[in-house]
Chains A and B, each alone.
Chain A
Amino acid sequence: MNLHEYQARDILRQHGIPVPPGDVASTPEEARAIAARLGGRVVVKAQVHAGGRGKAGGVKLARDAAEAAAHAATILGMTIKGLPVGRVLVAPAADIAAESYVGVVIDRASQRPVVMVSAAGGIDIEAVAVESPGQIHRLAVDPRYGLLPHQAFGLGLRLYRDTAQARAAARIMEAVYETFYAVGASLVEINPLATTPDGALVALDAKIVIDDNELERHPEIAALRDSSAEDPSEVAARRAGLSFIKLDGSVGCCVNGAGLAMATMDLVKYYGGAPANFLDIGGSSNPQKVVAALRIITADPNVRAILFNIFGGITRCDDVANGIVQASEQVALTVPLVIRLTGTNEALAVEILTRAGFSALTDMDDAVRQAVALAAGRGVGAR
């Protein structure tokens, strides 16, 4: 789960990291009041889960409160990468002497949290990693001892010649590491960590991504979820317990298991189609999940055909078949359905579906070819 910048700033501040003042507004009037309180020039920033906010016009500088309100009015109506902007952050426009980067992520190779720092802050760190990897310094931390003071200071010296600044950076890194575990993050990032003209370090922009598996034991973090900032179909899928990602093709996919779901999407492309989504209905054969899945897929106007691909192991094919029949009674289907089931009780499943007027296949390639043909407006059997 992604947090908004303003939420990440609050969390960092709670963990003792210097964050400039500022507040979040959902109306131009609120933005005006915050700007008036801050005084001087302010920056108005769209709070949206998408990169490239600046380029999209979602970050604007204002000389005074009136201009802040005007910018907020523009930005609050915007859609950035398909996501509506419902809030803006209003913060002082800081004078910056230098920018660096501090982040903590999980490194799969060392299987440890890694502190990453770079003196090349303020820009996309992945671009730095590609263009000048030597500018990024990494330290894998032993989670049993945490980030030790001398390690943090050593990294601080990579960023600043001045030892007082290196020490300040080290304290910030230790706090970022502590935050990482405290909130159950998979990423905590300050970019830029800015040096003000008087030499102080402040976290000017912050990003926190939470491991979804942590949300159950961190209800206070789960409560920060902003469903209005997410794709509505993905919100509906999450509520139904489905793993779903919307894409822009025309073949709706409903599959059991994440690996098979990806392989099914890939096969759609292999046969010349484009998947409309990733959807894993999981191991359960609960008909309500099938109903929810069909609702979500059919709500996408791009979908021209729906493909079920079920490999029955623990999941019984006859249960899924019953789910499809029940779902088709509850959801109006305007596009053709192609169903492939194989494995446990497949013969029974085919019988159930045939009786209900559906045809069912047992071969994955046959089913995908058919779904692609139907989505392209060609008849069944077009090979």
Chain B
Amino acid sequence: MSIFIDAGTRLLVQGITGRDGSFHTRQMMRYAAQVVAGVTPGKGGQTFDDAVPVFDTVADAMRETRPNTAVSYVPAALAASAIFEAADAGIALIVCITEGIPVLDMTRVLPFVHERGARLLGPNCPGLISPGKSKVGIIPDTICRPGRIGVVSRSGTLTYEIVHQLSTQGYGQSTCLGIGGDPLIGTNFIPCLEAFQADPETEAVVLIGEIGGTDEQQAAEFVSRAMTKPVVGFIAGQTAPPGRRMGHAGAIISGASGTAAEKMAAFARAGIAVMQRPADVVPLLRERL
């Protein structure tokens, strides 16, 4: 099992003919993802790599190919509009990889997506992968192994670092997903934790947070209230100065609640095993499993 995606995922790629979109579409197809359609306005009627029909609009693609998931590589200036379009066409899961979408755009996108009943992952996220089954986004599949650990993170390369530690030490993953480094994102930790708790093939969860906001504290509260599976957690940004944006637009400490110390304390209170460094992940999991 896995969460949110599986071998039955029918994927649509927004921005399929762009530089990033085409590169990652090939990577996803190589990993046996079922890419059923692409969308690039003005390029409808073309075929991508002799295999994937390209449409002008998501609605057209929906009628012809029935995708249930969309992934977007659309540039930041047009990315909010691409999310609106996918949600309007009835796509159930929208994964937005794009970095640099203005936060104010997201204040309008999020209620719209919610009203349409869609789930948005991201923006500014690496997407998700269920090793051996399907991949949506940009997580390098070579570092992943099929297995029973769920990984959920606000980061990209830090996630790869920790997944690499897991895979090389014998711990495969059920699903790895990045929820995004922006201040306003479609899916926070809790729905992911809920799905991992319900997934019979996930035995334990690795939760990777960072400074800024209070999502980690809310996740900790959820873990103590609703999870029986072991959770191991990490917070990046212990050395970050307050008031500065640490790369990710969402990684900024304002007030005490956004600090790493506060979040690590919330984890510990919730019974989450707190990693001091990425290399602690396997020893802590071993203790708990």
Asked whether A343 lies within 8 Å of B160 as measured between CB atoms, the reply is yes
Asked whether B213 lies within 8 Å of A314 as measured between CB atoms, the reply is no
- Beyond A108-B215, A111-B107, A263-B161, whether A278 also contacts B143 by CB under 8 A is no
B-chain residues with CB within 8 Å of residue A184 when the two chains form the complex: 102, 104
* Stretch in contact with the other chain, from A206-214, A296-304, A350-358, A374-382: A206-214
Chain B: number of interface residues, binned into ranges: 35 or more
Q: How many residues of A contact B (CB 8 A)?
A: 53
Asked whether A257 lies within 8 Å of B156 as measured between CB atoms, the reply is yes
Asked whether B103 lies within 8 Å of A213 as measured between CB atoms, the reply is yes
Asked whether A259 lies within 8 Å of B107 as measured between CB atoms, the reply is no
**Per-residue CB proximity of A99-110 to B under 8 Å, as 1/0?**
000000010110
B132 at the interface (CB under 8 A from A): no
A-chain residues with CB within 8 Å of residue B249 when the two chains form the complex: 211-213
B148 at the interface (CB under 8 A from A): no
A-chain residues with CB within 8 Å of residue B245 when the two chains form the complex: 212
**Per-residue CB proximity of B158-176 to A under 8 Å, as 1/0?**
1111001000000000000
Interchain CA distance A129-B258 in the complex, whole Å: 14
A144 at the interface (CB under 8 A from B): yes
Asked whether B246 lies within 8 Å of A258 as measured between CB atoms, the reply is yes
A153 at the interface (CB under 8 A from B): no
What residue of chain B has the Cβ atom nearest to residue A313's Cβ? B140
Asked whether A211 lies within 8 Å of B108 as measured between CB atoms, the reply is no
User: Which secondary structure dominates where chain B touches chain A?
Assistant: loop
A256 at the interface (CB under 8 A from B): yes
Interchain CA distance A214-B100 in the complex, whole Å: 9
Interchain CA distance A171-B175 in the complex, whole Å: 50
Asked whether A342 lies within 8 Å of B236 as measured between CB atoms, the reply is no
B146 at the interface (CB under 8 A from A): no
B-chain residues with CB within 8 Å of residue A263 when the two chains form the complex: 158, 161, 234, 236, 277-278
Asked whether B102 lies within 8 Å of A213 as measured between CB atoms, the reply is yes
What residue of chain A has the Cβ atom nearest to residue B234's Cβ? A263
Asked whether B158 lies within 8 Å of A245 as measured between CB atoms, the reply is no
* Stretch in contact with the other chain, from A11-19, A157-165, A267-275: A267-275
B-chain residues with CB within 8 Å of residue A265 when the two chains form the complex: 238-240
Asked whether B239 lies within 8 Å of A258 as measured between CB atoms, the reply is no
Asked whether A245 lies within 8 Å of B155 as measured between CB atoms, the reply is no
B288 at the interface (CB under 8 A from A): no
B42 at the interface (CB under 8 A from A): no
Shortest CB distance B251–A (Å): 6
Interchain CA distance A112-B102 in the complex, whole Å: 13
Asked whether A313 lies within 8 Å of B138 as measured between CB atoms, the reply is yes
Interchain CA distance A270-B278 in the complex, whole Å: 11
- Beyond A263-B236, A343-B140, A343-B164, whether A311 also contacts B183 by CB under 8 A is no
B30 at the interface (CB under 8 A from A): no
A189 at the interface (CB under 8 A from B): no
Asked whether B140 lies within 8 Å of A314 as measured between CB atoms, the reply is yes
A365 at the interface (CB under 8 A from B): yes
- Beyond A129-B255, A258-B181, A266-B277, whether A278 also contacts B240 by CB under 8 A is yes
Interchain CA distance A106-B161 in the complex, whole Å: 31
B139 at the interface (CB under 8 A from A): yes
- Beyond A184-B104, A213-B102, whether A262 also contacts B214 by CB under 8 A is no
A142 at the interface (CB under 8 A from B): yes
Interchain CA distance A52-B156 in the complex, whole Å: 36
Interchain CA distance A314-B140 in the complex, whole Å: 7
Asked whether A311 lies within 8 Å of B153 as measured between CB atoms, the reply is no
A198 at the interface (CB under 8 A from B): no
Asked whether B236 lies within 8 Å of A144 as measured between CB atoms, the reply is no
B237 at the interface (CB under 8 A from A): yes
B101 at the interface (CB under 8 A from A): yes
Asked whether B164 lies within 8 Å of A311 as measured between CB atoms, the reply is yes
- Beyond A213-B101, A263-B161, whether A106 also contacts B240 by CB under 8 A is no
Asked whether A257 lies within 8 Å of B100 as measured between CB atoms, the reply is no
Asked whether A260 lies within 8 Å of B276 as measured between CB atoms, the reply is no
Task: Find B247's partner among A216, A261, A342, A344 (CB 8 Å cutoff).
Answer: A261
Asked whether A259 lies within 8 Å of B77 as measured between CB atoms, the reply is no
Using a CB-CB cutoff of 8 Å, which residues 208-237 of chain B contact chain A? 208, 210-211, 213-215, 234, 236-237
A-chain residues with CB within 8 Å of residue B255 when the two chains form the complex: 126, 129-130
Task: Find A313's partner among B107, B143, B241 (CB 8 Å cutoff).
Answer: B143
Asked whether A266 lies within 8 Å of B239 as measured between CB atoms, the reply is yes
Q: Which 5 A-B pairs have the closest CB atoms?
A: A259-B155, A258-B247, A257-B157, A259-B158, A313-B140
A-B contacts besides A257-B157, A259-B159, A263-B277, 9 pairs, CB < 8 Å: A111-B110, A130-B255, A211-B249, A212-B249, A258-B247, A259-B210, A262-B237, A269-B238, A314-B140
Can you offer 18 A-B residue contacts whose CB atoms are under 8 A?
A108-B183, A111-B110, A142-B111, A180-B104, A211-B104, A212-B249, A216-B77, A257-B247, A258-B156, A259-B155, A259-B158, A260-B156, A263-B277, A265-B238, A269-B238, A270-B277, A278-B247, A311-B160
Binding site for A on B (CB under 8 A): 76-77, 100-104, 106-108, 110-111, 138-140, 142-143, 153-161, 164, 181, 183-184, 208, 210-211, 213-215, 234, 236-241, 244-251, 254-256, 260, 276-279
